[in-house]
């Protein structure tokens, strides 16, 4: 098991052995203290300090700071710039988790892990995304509250999970919007509905992942800590699906 943990990049083999002896490693929910324990990366769920470990080394997880002008498609039928120029550099066949419209920049996840992608993209699992929008007009507290209370769009009502007014002056405002909806162009449509059309839009976070200082047009692989947080979301969502709703 220590070899598997080391191969996953969590710790060196020697440190992994110490983690096992200290009782900080579980396999399928059970604490393991024997160094000779054999595990199957394809079927066994390994966690260190309660944080899941991805032991399948065939899986890859990448963050892209998508530039404006790139469509969220691996092969655009209209010949526009697409994600192929970013995924082609990887040996694995990666695909995007969700979409950002061509005019929106920011954090986009690329992976070949279909199960995790489903959890991250489906709004029923409640994974939030945070956007910074530069909009026309001076946004006031009443407008912020309206976004929180919900607005009516052509495809139904929608409310933001969180809204913060960051700046408002000279006829423009910066607004931070957090929501878990997966609807098309939802942030733009919400802000347009309250009278503040979007001038620029960037996604800064996706669940526990932060764009940080990653330059526009660059990619990086997830850290083991970031990946552990994503795997924890997938693990917990599986538990939720297995537990019937009480009424």
List the catalytic residues: 101
Q: Tokens standing for 116? A: 């995790």
DSSP track, 198-228: EEEEEEEEETTEE-TTPPTT-EEEPPHHHHH
* Burial tier of 63 (Cβ tally within 10 Å: 0-12, 13-18, 19+): buried
Query: Residue 80's Cα: distance from chain center in Å?
Result: 25
Alpha carbons 183 and 108: distance in angstroms, whole number: 16
Q: Strands 105-111, 198-206: parallel, antiparallel or unpaired by DSSP? A: parallel
What is the signed CA dihedral for 17, 19, 23, 26, rounded to 10 degrees? -90
In the block, tokens 């423009």 appear at 172
């Amino acid at each position: 098991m220590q070899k598997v943990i080391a191969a996953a990049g969590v710790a060196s083999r020697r440190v992994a052995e110490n983690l096992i002896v200290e009782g900080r490693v579980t396999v399928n929910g059970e604490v393991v203290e024997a160094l000779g324990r054999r595990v199957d990366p394809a079927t066994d769920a390994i966690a260190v300090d309660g944080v899941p470990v991805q032991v399948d080394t065939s899986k890859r997880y990448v963050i892209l700071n998508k530039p404006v002008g790139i469509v969220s498609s691996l092969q655009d039928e209209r010949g526009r710039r697409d994600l192929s120029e970013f995924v082609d550099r990887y040996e694995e066949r990666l695909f995007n988790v969700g979409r950002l419209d061509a005019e929106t920049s920011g954090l986009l996840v690329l992976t070949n892990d279909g199960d995790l992608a489903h959890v991250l993209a489906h709004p029923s699992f409640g994974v939030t995304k945070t956007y910074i929008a530069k909009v026309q007009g001076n946004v006031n507290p009443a407008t912020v509250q309206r976004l929180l209370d919900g607005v009516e769009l052509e495809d139904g009502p929608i409310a933001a999970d969180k809204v913060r007014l960051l700046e408002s002056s000279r006829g423009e405002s910066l607004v931070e919007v957090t929501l878990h909806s997966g609807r098309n162009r939802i942030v733009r449509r919400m802000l347009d509905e309250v009278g503040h059309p979007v001038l620029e839009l960037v996604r800064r976070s996706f669940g526990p992942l932060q764009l940080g200082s990653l330059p526009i047009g660059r990619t990086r692989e997830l850290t083991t800590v970031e990946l552990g947080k994503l795997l924890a979301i997938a693990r917990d969502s599986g538990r939720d699906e297995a537990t019937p709703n009480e009424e």
